[in-house]
Amino acid sequence: MSQPVLEVRDLKVEFVSPRADRPPLQTLRGVSLDIAAGEILGLVGESGAGKSLTGAAVLGLLAGGGRISGGEIRFSGQRIDRLPEAEIRVLRGSRIGAVFQDPMTALDPLMTVGEQLVETIRTHRRLSRRQARDHAASLLDSVGVPAAARRLSQYPHQFSGGMRQRVVLALAMAGEPDLLIADEPTTALDVSVQAQVLALFRELCDARGTAVMLVTHDMGVVAEICDRVGVMYAGRIVEIGSVDDVLERPAHPYTEGLLRSIPALDAPREPRLWQIPGAMPRPAAVPEGCAYHPRCPRAQEICRRGNTPLLGVSMRDVACHFPNRSWSSTVSIGRSSAAEARP
């Protein structure tokens, strides 16, 4: 098997409090994942679970006192978690792209879209202005902006929300990155526009073999375009595997509960939705043992102490002592590739 584009091993991130008397806040408590070329990995979880933080850590964009306190991040085999700021910035501009929820964070309101695209293209490729402009037009065209050549001379505010996000995608793709980190890229968009932008993601990823980390809170988005999915809870990945496995045959009780609590458009209407009691703990109050045990119906004594290992359960990893194996007769049990790669 070829080397993954991104390898994250036991990544820990903590936030140093500005007040000296408070201990640093552990927000990522050991995250491991791989993304192969051409693969879209979805990272889902509730706000505060650490999914955006994982993306920010890979991008070297931890803000507000955050720092990597353990583990490693490898990009094409090369460690990037200890790179100096200048080098990670070069990497970020070229081989690792980023798309965020608010397109205006990536766009300069005072420059035309064409100028921004040309500038990005020319930092990566030796092209004349005219060639770069032609390339920019074809990029805009490829992300589905109509009348691309004409719209190059327009400013970001002249684009609608969905079109703006397409421009950001074109900008991120201009460097022909190997890895794209997309943090809630369609959350601010209307559902009909979201569908179009998601389809575009899938298309670009398939056409260029880009590896994508898609951070989202929407299981529907994951089902729509992801190949694999990691479910995060309180700073850890509790379950990671193929979308079909995880969404249709969830093994971790949190994944199970989460999926059951989402009303479906095609399931019969029940008088009540399934609900998980309680709420996810804040980083400062993560309980000992498995972080999910106070809300878990299957919790036993063993769940209340020690670390819960990531077990390989039928082509996926699950951090649970009592994963749901009821469907395991149909699928062979074995450790997934990510688990094997771990030392």
Partner 1 sequence: MTVEPQDPGPGSMLVVEGLSKSFQQGTPLFRRLAGKAPIVHAVDDVSLTIARGETLALVGESGCGKSTFARTVMGLERPSAGIIRFDSQPLAPSVSDRPAKLRRSMQMIFQDPYTSLNGRWRVRDIVAEPIREGQGDLSQSAINEQVGELLVKVGLSQDDLAKYPHQFSGGQRQRIAIARAIATAPAFLVCDEPTSALDVSVQAQILNLMCELREQSEGLTSLFISHNLAAVRHFADRVGVMYLGRLVEVAPAQELFEAPQHPYTQMLLAAVPGKRRGQGKAGIQGELPNPLAPPTGCAFNPRCPLAVDRCRSERPVLAASRLKPARSVACHVATVSSV
**Among 2, 78, 192, 330, which residue sits at the site for partner 1 (rule: CB under 8 A)?**
192
Give residue for tokens 């119906």: 297
Q: Mention every residue, 6+ apart, whose C-beta is less than 8 A from residue 215.
A: 42, 43, 51, 52, 54, 55, 181, 182, 183, 184
Selected range binding partner 1 among 5-13, 54-62, 161-169, 176-184, rule: CB under 8 A: 161-169
**How near is the Cβ of 62 to partner 1 at its closest, in Å?**
23
Query: Cα(44)–Cα(218) distance, rounded to whole angstroms?
Result: 7
Query: Cα(16)–Cα(1) distance, rounded to whole angstroms?
Result: 39
158 near partner 1, rule: CB under 8 A: no
Residue 53, beta-bridge partner list: none
**How near is the Cβ of 203 to partner 1 at its closest, in Å?**
9
Selected range binding partner 1 among 60-68, 77-85, 266-274, 324-332, rule: CB under 8 A: 266-274
**How near is the Cβ of 175 to partner 1 at its closest, in Å?**
26
271 near partner 1, rule: CB under 8 A: yes
Site size for partner 1, by CB under 8 A? 41
**Among 21, 269, 329, 330, which residue sits at the site for partner 1 (rule: CB under 8 A)?**
269
**Among 33, 251, 258, 320, which residue sits at the site for partner 1 (rule: CB under 8 A)?**
258
CA distances from 22 to 18, 26, 77, 283, 323 (A): 8, 12, 36, 13, 36
Instruction: Assess contact for 241 and 247: CB atoms under 8 A.
Output: no
Q: What residues numbered 36-65 form the site for partner 1, per CB under 8 A? A: 46-47
Q: What is the per-residue binding string for partner 1 in 212-251, x denoting contact by CB under 8 A?
A: -----xxxxx-xxx--------------------------
| Closest-CA residue to 214 (of 190, 235, 193, 243) | 243
**Among 19, 126, 272, 329, which residue sits at the site for partner 1 (rule: CB under 8 A)?**
272
Query: Cα(9)–Cα(32) distance, rounded to whole angstroms?
Result: 4
199 near partner 1, rule: CB under 8 A: yes
Strands across the sheet containing 236-242: 96-99, 179-183, 211-216, 40-44, 228-233, 236-242, 317-318, 311-312
257 near partner 1, rule: CB under 8 A: yes
**CB-nearer residue toward partner 1: 1 or 265:** 265
**How near is the Cβ of 234 to partner 1 at its closest, in Å?**
13
**How near is the Cβ of 123 to partner 1 at its closest, in Å?**
31
Left (φ > 0), alpha (ψ -120 to 50) or beta: where does 253 sit?
alpha
32 near partner 1, rule: CB under 8 A: no
Selected range binding partner 1 among 133-141, 154-162, 321-329, 332-340, rule: CB under 8 A: 154-162
Report the interhelical angle of 161-174 vs 191-208 (nearest 10°): 10
Per-residue tokens: 224: 């729509």
Angle at 173 between CA 170 and CA 175, to 5 degrees: 125
3 near partner 1, rule: CB under 8 A: no
**CB-nearer residue toward partner 1: 109 or 271:** 271
Stated length of the chain: 343
Which residues in this chain contact partner 1 in the complex, by CB under 8 A? 46-47, 160-163, 190-196, 198-199, 202, 217-221, 223-225, 257-258, 261-265, 269-276, 279-280
